[in-house]
């Protein structure tokens, strides 16, 4: 079982990843958590480059390929072996992030990014992705601080939110839309309710 969380920066994904992992462990499942970009030695180095404000100007083409390189390594070295060992894998972001950030907001195109993604992942996609939807005006408190991605500001985060909303409409079978505006516990409740039947 492969699950992922998506959403604009600061939507509370990592807390929810942790809570879901604890819930599934209480059900007796072995759970592996990973985050993108990262999760391997190479992936963490690429993460450093991608988030470093000193990396300077980076076009969406170079950017998507760096994210995909990290993803390819994570898939082949970590996610696939864990799934084969019968674990539940929960990823904090996955391919849909590239589709939104580089494909829609960055302008590369949805199909183009999905197509590079098929090479990077060998066709592996989460069975379900929880999209935590939250108004960036609420989640994005400091616009001038933070890493290279977070410095892009509120308008960028709004485009990201709209991009994800469009994807959920077009690929509704792949997503569970979660209202991120409630308390941590309320959001977690929605996640549990949306779990594929065999897990809940």
Task: Tell me the CA distances in angstroms from 11 to 131, 156, 176, 190, 197, one per residue in order.
Answer: 9, 14, 15, 15, 25
36 near ligand TYD (CB under 6 A): yes
Q: What is the dihedral of CA 34, 35, 41, 44, to 10 degrees?
A: -170
| Residue from 16, 20, 43, 67 binding ligand TYD (CB under 6 A) | 67
Q: Which stretch binds ligand TYD (CB under 6 A): 24-32, 93-101, 120-128, 133-141?
A: 93-101
Smallest distance from ligand TYD to CB 102, Å? 6
Residues 140, 154 contacting (CB under 8 angstroms): yes
DSSP string, 127-182: SEEEEEE--HHHH---SSSSSTTGGGHHHHHHHHHHHHHHHHHHTGGGEEEEETTS
Q: Which stretch binds ligand TYD (CB under 6 A): 34-42, 72-80, 126-134, 186-194?
A: 34-42
Smallest distance from ligand TYD to CB 108, Å? 11
For the chain, the distance separating the N- and C-terminal CA atoms, rounded to the nearest angstrom, is 12
149 near ligand TYD (CB under 6 A): yes
112 near ligand TYD (CB under 6 A): no
98 near ligand TYD (CB under 6 A): yes
In the complex with ligand TYD, the residue whose CB is nearer, 147 or 179, is 147
Residues 13, 7 contacting (CB under 8 angstroms): yes
A 10 A CB-CB count for 7 gives: 27
In the complex with ligand TYD, the residue whose CB is nearer, 153 or 196, is 153
9 near ligand TYD (CB under 6 A): yes
140 near ligand TYD (CB under 6 A): no
By CB under 6 A, name the binding residues for ligand TYD.
Answer: 9, 13, 35-37, 51, 67, 93, 97-98, 101-102, 147, 149
């Amino acid at each position: 079982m492969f699950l992922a969380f998506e959403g604009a920066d600061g939507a509370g994904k990592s807390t929810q990843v942790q809570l879901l992992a604890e819930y599934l462990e209480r059900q007796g499942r072995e759970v592996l958590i990973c985050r993108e970009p990262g999760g391997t030695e190479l992936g963490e180095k690429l993460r450093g480059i991608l988030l470093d404000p000193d990396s300077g100007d980076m076009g969406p083409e170079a950017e998507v390929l760096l994210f995909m390189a990290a993803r390819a390594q994570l898939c082949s070295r970590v996610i696939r072996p864990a799934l084969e060992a019968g674990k539940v894998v929960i990823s904090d972001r996955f391919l849909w992030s590239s589709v939104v950030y580089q494909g829609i907001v960055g302008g590369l195109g949805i199909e183009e990014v999905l197509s590079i993604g098929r090479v990077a992942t060998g066709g592996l996609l989460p069975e379900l992705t929880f999209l935590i939807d939250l108004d960036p005006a609420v989640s994005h408190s400091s616009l001038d601080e933070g890493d290279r991605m977070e410095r892009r500001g509120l308008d960028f985060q709004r485009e990201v939110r709209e991009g994800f909303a469009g994807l959920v409409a077009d690929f509704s079978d792949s997503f569970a839309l979660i209202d991120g505006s409630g308390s941590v516990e309320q959001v977690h409740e929605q996640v549990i309710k949306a779990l594929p039947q065999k897990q809940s």
